Amino acid sequence: MKAFAPVFVFLFFAAIFSKTAIMASSPDSSKKIVIKSAGAPGALMDRDSIRALSKNIIPVNIDRQSVLVNEKKGYYSLPQGARILFGICYFFLTLVLITMLLILALRIIKSLRLENAKKASVAFEEFIMEIIFSDTVPEQGKIFSETQMIKINLFAELWLNVKFNRDFILGSMLQLHKNLTGETAEQIQELYVIFGLENDSNQRLKSKKWHIQAKAINELEQMHYRRSYREIYRLINNPNETLRSEAYVAIVSMKNKNQLTFLNNIQVEMSDWEQLNLLSRINQLKNFVVPDLTKWLSGTNESFVKFSIKIIQYFNVIEQTEELINLLSSRWENVRIDAIKALIFLQVDSSRILLLQRFNGETIPVQIEIINAIGNIGDYKDNNWLNDIIIQNTDRQMTYAAGKAIKKLHGGVSEFN
C-alpha cells in the first residue's frame, strides 16, 4: 500500500483543484431577469438567454407558453480544461481501485491455495505411509491388495477432483519417485496410472506451448509410461531445442534395448547441450549397450559424428579407435579436434606418427590439439620437434602448448586436459 501513497496524494489535491475550478467557473445564478408576456406568467431568464432570444437563436413562443430557461449546471457546464482534469482524476481513481481489488483477490486466492496445499500435503504423506508400509500382501501378479485399493480409491475421491490438488499431488509423487527404487518406485508408478494422472500428462503433451509439452514428457518419462512413446517420438525433430532434448531422454529411458536407433530418423543438428544431456541420461541406464557407431562416425551429420566420439570416449570403446584415426582427415575442424582429444584420452600411441604427419597442413586450433596429444602420447624423441615449434612460431597459444608438452614429456605427466 505504501507504493500507492503518492498516487493518493496527487488525486486528493487534483480533486480539490477541480472542485475549486468548478466553483470559480459557475455563473452567478442569483442574477435573473423577469420577462412578462401577454397571457403568460413571468418567465425567469438569465442574461444570456435574453440575448439569445433577441437574436432569434432560440425559438420560443412567449405568447403561448411560459419560458423558464435556467442555466446549465454540472459536468457539461465546466470549461474543457476542468472536464479533462476531472476525467483524468476519475480514471486514475478507478484504476487504483481496480488494482487494489485485484491484489486483494490474488492474495486471498494465494492464501487459500497455500492452505489447501498444506492439507493436501499432510493427507498425501499419511496416505503414502499407509500404502507403502501396509502389512497386507497383494495377490500374485498385483501390486496392491484389496485393502490398499480401498484406501487408494477413497483418497482419489477426496482429493483428486480438483485440478489444483491433482497437480500438487502429481508434483509430490514425482519428487518422491526420484528418491525411490525397486518395489516402492513401482508402486508410485502404479498410483500414477490408477489416479489417472497419465491422462493429465498426455493432455499437456498436446499443448501448443513447448514448456508445457516438455513438462509432460518429463512426467511420462519419469513414471516410465511407455504407452506415450509414439507421441513423444514425433517430437524428435521439433524446432525447439529443449523440447527435442526432453524427447531424446524419454526415448532412451523407455526402450529396453537399441536405445539410440532413433538417431537414424533425426533430421536436425544436435547441439552440444543436447549431446551432453543425452549422454548423461544414457550413463544412468543399467541396460545400455554401446551399439556399432561406424555408421554415424562416417555419416554426413556433424553433430552425430561428435556425439559418437563422446560415446567412444565416455564408455572407453577401444574397439573403434580405428574409426577415430580415420576422423583425423574429416572435413570438419571440430570433429578433428574431438577425435584427437579422444585419442589422447584412450592413450592410442599408434596415432602419434600420423598426428605429426598431419601437423603442417592443419589449422592453428587443430595444431594446438596435436601438440597436446604429443605431450601425452609422445616420447623424448619429440623434444626437438616441440623446441622447433617454440622457436619458429609467434603464436602465443601454440608456443605455450609446446612448452607445456615438453614439461609433460620430461616430467612423465600424461593426464588428459
pLDDT digits (tens, 9 = 90+) for 43-78: 455 555 555 555 444 444 444 444 444 444 566 677
- In a domain, residue 30? The reply is yes
Q: What is the pLDDT of residues 348-406, one digit of tens each?
A: 988 999 999 999 999 999 999 999 999 998 888 888 899 999 998 888 999 999 999 99
Size (the chain), residues:
417
* pLDDT at position 343 over 70: yes
- In a domain, residue 312? The reply is yes
The DSSP output letter for 298 is T
Q: Of 75, 96, 112, which marks where a domain is finished?
A: 112
Q: Of 90, 112, 134, which marks where a domain is finished?
A: 112
Going by C-beta distance under 8 Å and a sequence separation of 6 or more, which residues neighbour residue 413? Answer: 375, 407
- Note the helical H segments in 206-271: 210-222, 229-233, 241-254
H or E stretch at 368? helix 364-377
The DSSP output letter for 43 is E
Cα–chain center distance at 6:
37
Name the percent of the chain lying above pLDDT 70: 80
Q: Give the domain extent around 312.
A: 290-417
CATH code (residue 399): 1.25.10.10
Q: How many domains does the chain have?
A: 2
Q: Which three cell numbers stand for residue 92?
A: 486514475
- In a domain, residue 241? The reply is no
At residue 14's C-alpha, the angle toward residues 13 and 18, to 5°, is 120
- In a domain, residue 206? The reply is no
- In a domain, residue 143? The reply is no
Backbone angles phi, psi at 322, to 5 degrees: -65, -40
- In a domain, residue 147? The reply is no
pTM: 0.69
Q: What is the pLDDT of residues 357-367, one digit of tens each?
A: 999 999 999 99
Q: Of 95, 112, 129, which marks where a domain is finished?
A: 112
User: How far apart, in whole angstroms, are the C-alpha atoms of residue 310 and residue 342?
Assistant: 8
Going by C-beta distance under 8 Å and a sequence separation of 6 or more, which residues neighbour residue 379? Answer: 409
User: How far apart, in whole angstroms, are the C-alpha atoms of residue 389 and residue 403?
Assistant: 9
- In a domain, residue 370? The reply is yes
pLDDT of 133 reads 80
Q: What is the pLDDT of residues 94-122, one digit of tens each?
A: 888 999 999 988 888 888 877 777 888 88
- In a domain, residue 166? The reply is no
On average, the pLDDT of the chain sits at 82
